[in-house]
Every structure is written in structure tokens, then in C-alpha cells.
Amino acid sequence: MPASPVEFWFDFGSNYSYLSAMRIEALAREQKVEVVWKPFLLGVVFKALGWESSPFVLQKLKGDYVWRDMARLCAKYGLPWRQPSTFPRTALLPMRVVLIGADQGWIAPFSRRMMTMNFAEDRDIDNLDAVGEALTTLGLDAPAILALALTDENKLRLRRQTQQAQALGLFGAPGFVCNGELFWGNDRLHDALAWATVTEPRACHPDNQPE
């Protein structure tokens, strides 16, 4: 049986999404799993939960831990890392643009470039110059893509995809959804990919255990 696809729900302002975005395609290829990239607005989800910012900002001890954790994990994975001087960074424009990438097949390399700008180069990414640079680097028609991204239809599409994330029960990023199961956090990436290769994954669900 072929592996099931894994939906990868992410936000460019999410530091742990950075770790997964930079690794998921290579790991998925090893297990012959298709990755469906699903951008959503994490800030909208946080506000619905009553948080005005990231919990890493609202809880200083957690935030201090997270930055040390990021340094360790980036060293472990061989990823470049620079703690952002602004966190969480607004990324509305690249989030709209990346939806066009989902349609046209360049969502993965564009996402990796945006994540690198944010978490390895400490650059503002929510502007035409940064997004245009990333698109041009990939050999894409930046003006045409930006025009598509800024249409009312595409803006509504991002809002609806964020609503879909909320309907799935996402409360943070990254999230991985496979066969109706939600896996939350970069440390669950391997579990999500493994779940995709299980022939009858629902048999492992607690609601389906024999009485």
C-alpha cells in the first residue's frame, strides 16, 4: 500500500516550524511520503485562544528555554541559526505568496528561503523587497506572483485555510495531519511520517481498541 500524504501546517513566524520546514522534504522522500504544505496564520489561532502573542513571549522562562533549545537543535540538525531580534515576526505577505507557490509547485523552496531569512539571517520578511528577492532567486516572476498574492480572492483563501487549521484542532505550529491524526511540534515530525506508512493506522487509535 502506498503511504498516506502528510499535511504540514506551518507559519513563517514559528521557530519550530523552521526546523521542520528545512528537513521535512528530505525525510519524507526517504519514506516515500508526500508532503502537502499548508500555511496558516498562527497569530489568529493564538488570539482565538486568548493570547496576544506567542507563549514564548508571554512566559519569560519558557522563552529563555526555547532560544537555548533552538540553538541546540540547529546544531544537531546542521542548520544555520540566529535568534531573531524581533519575535514573532509578522509574515502576512509571504504567507499570502506561499499559497501561490502551493498552486505552482515552488512552495517548498520558497518556504525554506523565507525561513532562512527569518531564523538564520534575522531579516524582516514581511515586505515586497524580501519576498521579491526570494522569488527572483528561485527564477520566478516576482511582479506577477505578487499581483496574484494580493488579490482579494487569495487573501480570503488564507483566512479560510486558517479557519481549516482551527477546525482541525491546531493550537500551535508546526502541526502534521495524517489519516485524521494530529501531531504537534517539530519533535513529532518523525512520528507523523511513520504514521503515514502504517497500513491500517486507525487500528492504533485509542477509540478503536478492543473492549
End-to-end CA distance of the chain: 28
Give just the sign of the alpha carbon dihedral 5, 11, 17, 20.
positive
Q: What is the pLDDT of residue 208?
A: 45
Q: What is the pTM of this model?
A: 0.90
Q: Which residues pair with 9 in a beta bridge?
A: 38, 175
Assign 61 a pLDDT band (cuts: 50, 70, 90). Answer: confident
Chain center to CA of 86: 18
| pLDDT tier, 46 (very low <50, low <70, confident <90, very high otherwise) | confident
Mean residue pLDDT of the chain comes to: 91
Give CA–CA dist 90/134, Å, rounded: 17
For the segment 101-116, what is each residue's pLDDT rounded down to a tens digit?
A: 999 999 999 999 999 9
pLDDT at 58: 65
- Per-residue burial over 90-125, b = 16 or more CB atoms within 10 Å of its CB, e = otherwise: ebebbbbbbbbbbeeebbbebbbbbbbbbbbeebeb
The pLDDT confidence band at residue 200, using thresholds 50, 70 and 90, is low
Tell me whether residue 14 is one of the annotated catalytic residues: yes
Please give the share of the chain, as a percent, with pLDDT higher than 90: 82
Which distant-in-sequence residues (6+ apart) come within 8 Å of 94 by Cβ?
12, 110, 114, 125, 126, 130, 131, 134
Domains with residue ranges and CATH for the chain: 6-208 (3.40.30.10)
Give residue 206's pLDDT band: very low, low, confident or very high (50, 70, 90). very low
What digits encode the pLDDT tens for the residues 130-139?
Answer: 999 999 999 9
Catalytic residue among 4, 14, 53, 111: 14
DSSP strand pairing (35-39 vs 6-10): parallel
Q: What is the mean pLDDT of residues 132-161?
A: 98
